[in-house]
């Protein structure tokens, strides 16, 4: 795919004498353009409109940045970088609104030689969020990067709390390679960043297919974008969860521990040894309602795993978990071809024990004083569910 030499038809730009139209790329709804300094008024208008909306993810910006001369200078440097092959900075326009910028999808710091890589950054106008425009732009821009510029690797660095950008990166085929603590100074604070990478021969991969939602709760496979939600969930449910579970070791109340949990879990998932599911209200995808973890997954001839679960204290006792846990168990038996699922339960935890037996789990034994919890040694019940005994909850 080549950048085409297009002559614009239609009305002349309103805010400037000329907006660069020599390098443009059309998609079904968008035009992606490389701009020079003549487009500074339109770029400034875009940044001013979205100043507050974008600021949580930007470095601190003073008023100098929001001046026309500053934008002219930045665009002149950017355009020179494009002509020198060091950048591919696309600005986004609707095809039916060719004078109003609605976003940016840029590849910068292009390096050739044996590395052949670049940095990736993108943002979109607040008014057009949620319409798939960033995905449409990214798919077109990435094709140009790999086919015309013949690069091998593109990297995007994203704050763990920026769930929209993470979701877009994953839909575009970027894969999370790790975390850099205190990597960039955003709004005068050093912030952790996840590193997402797309290679030229990569294709967007499908995340592990979670079981269908229960009707009352949606079930989602764990992803890096969920780190902040896990942190919030376990903070607000700490006493509720630790009543029957061992407190997480070390700095369990510190946010970085959830980075480690998620990346260790994803690594175990890649090895086929673990699978985590998060539960959400359909109308509240930003509020974690529960967590189901399937650990110690062993292939044939063992064909087994251990399951654990929790639900928000506000939802406990409302009959939500049987259906959703049943759905996960059915998926584990079918997708992982398991024959046996085990669970452990502190004696006295009647609510969890009742739920497990409702689904067909049977007690197989007891570890006398198997766990020190709440200031004393507690007996731990061992339960197991065979595929042949499973009763799918309806």
**Number of domains the chain is built from:** 2
Q: Print pLDDT tens along the chain (394 aa).
A: 445 433 222 323 333 334 455 688 999 999 999 999 999 999 999 999 999 999 999 988 888 889 999 999 999 999 999 999 999 999 999 999 999 999 999 999 999 999 999 999 999 999 999 889 999 999 999 999 999 999 999 999 999 888 889 889 988 999 888 888 889 999 889 999 999 999 998 876 555 566 666 568 899 888 887 888 888 999 999 999 888 888 765 444 444 477 788 888 888 887 788 999 999 988 888 899 999 999 999 988 999 999 999 999 999 988 899 989 999 999 999 888 899 999 999 999 999 999 999 999 999 999 999 999 889 999 999 999 999 999 776 5
Question: CB-based burial of residue 275 (10 Å sphere; 0-12 exposed, 13-18 middle, 19+ buried)?
Answer: buried
Tell me how far apart the alpha carbons of residues 87 and 106 are, in angstroms, rounded to a whole number.
8
Q: What CATH number has the domain bearing residue 295?
A: 3.40.630.30
Same domain, 345 and 271: yes
Instruction: Indicate whether 65 and 117 sit together in one domain.
Output: yes
Tokens representing residue 23 in the block: 């390098």
In terms of domains, do 288 and 158 share one? Answer: no
* Residues near 229 by beta carbon (within 8 Å), at least 6 away in sequence: 278, 286, 287, 288
Q: Is the residue at 98 inside a domain?
A: yes
Answer with the one of 170, 199, 228 that is the final residue of a domain: 199
Q: Taking each helix axis as running N to C, give the angle between helix 40-49 and helix 68-83, from 0 to 180 degrees, rounded to the nearest 10.
A: 120
Answer yes or no: do 235 and 377 share one domain. yes
Q: State the Cα–Cα distance between residues 289 and 311, nearest whole angstrom.
A: 6
Give the C-alpha separation, 360 to 387, whole Å: 9
Contact 327, 394 (CB under 8 A): no
**In which order are the strands placed within the sheet that holds 97-111?**
24-26, 30-33, 88-94, 97-111, 117-124, 153-158, 189-199, 175-186
Backbone dihedral region for residue 132 (phi beyond 0: left; psi -120 to 50: alpha; all else: beta)? left
Shared-domain flag, residues 225 and 192: no
Q: How far apart are the first and last CA of the chain?
A: 52
pLDDT for 228 equals 84
Maximum Cα interatomic distance, the chain, rounded to a whole number of Å: 82
CA distance 372 to 380: 10
Domain extent, residue 266, equals 218-389
């Amino acid at each position: 795919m080549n950048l085409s030499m297009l002559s614009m038809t239609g009305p002349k730009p309103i805010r400037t004498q000329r907006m660069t139209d020599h390098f443009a790329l059309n998609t079904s709804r968008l035009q992606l353009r490389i701009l020079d300094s003549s487009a500074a008024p339109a770029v400034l208008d875009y940044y001013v409109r979205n100043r507050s909306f974008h600021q949580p993810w930007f470095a601190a910006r003073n008023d100098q940045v929001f001046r026309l001369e500053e934008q002219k200078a930045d665009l002149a440097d950017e355009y020179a970088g494009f002509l020198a092959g060091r950048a591919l900075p696309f600005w986004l326009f609707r095809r039916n609104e060719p004078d109003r910028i609605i976003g940016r999808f840029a590849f910068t710091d292009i390096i050739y030689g044996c590395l052949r890589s670049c940095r990736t950054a993108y943002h979109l106008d607040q008014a057009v969020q949620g319409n798939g425009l960033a995905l449409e732009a990214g798919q077109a821009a990435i094709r140009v990067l790999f086919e015309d510029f013949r690069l091998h690797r593109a990297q995007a660095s994203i704050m763990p709390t920026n769930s929209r950008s993470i979701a877009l990166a994953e839909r575009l085929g970027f894969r999370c390679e790790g975390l850099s603590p205190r990597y960039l100074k955003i709004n005068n604070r050093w912030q952790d960043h996840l590193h997402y990478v797309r290679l030229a021969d990569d294709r967007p991969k499908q995340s592990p297919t979670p079981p269908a939602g229960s009707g009352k709760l949606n079930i989602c496979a764990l992803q890096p974008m969920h780190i902040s939600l896990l942190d919030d969930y376990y903070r607000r449910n700490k006493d509720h969860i630790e009543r029957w579970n061992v407190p997480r070791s070390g700095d369990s109340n510190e946010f970085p521990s959830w980075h480690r949990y998620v990346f260790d879990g994803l690594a175990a998932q890649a090895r086929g040894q673990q699978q985590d599911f998060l539960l959400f209200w359909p109308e509240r995808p930003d509020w974690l309602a529960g967590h189901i973890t399937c650990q110690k997954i062993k292939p044939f001839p063992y064909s087994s795993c251990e399951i654990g679960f929790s639900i928000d204290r506000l939802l406990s006792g409302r009959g939500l978990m049987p259906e959703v846990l049943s759905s996960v168990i059915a998926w584990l038996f079918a997708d992982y071809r398991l024959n046996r699922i085990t669970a452990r339960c502190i004696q006295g935890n009647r609510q969890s024990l009742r739920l497990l037996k409702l689904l067909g789990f049977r007690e197989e034994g007891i570890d006398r004083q198997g766990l020190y919890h709440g200031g004393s040694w507690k007996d731990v019940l061992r339960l197991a569910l065979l595929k042949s005994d499973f009763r799918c909850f309806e």
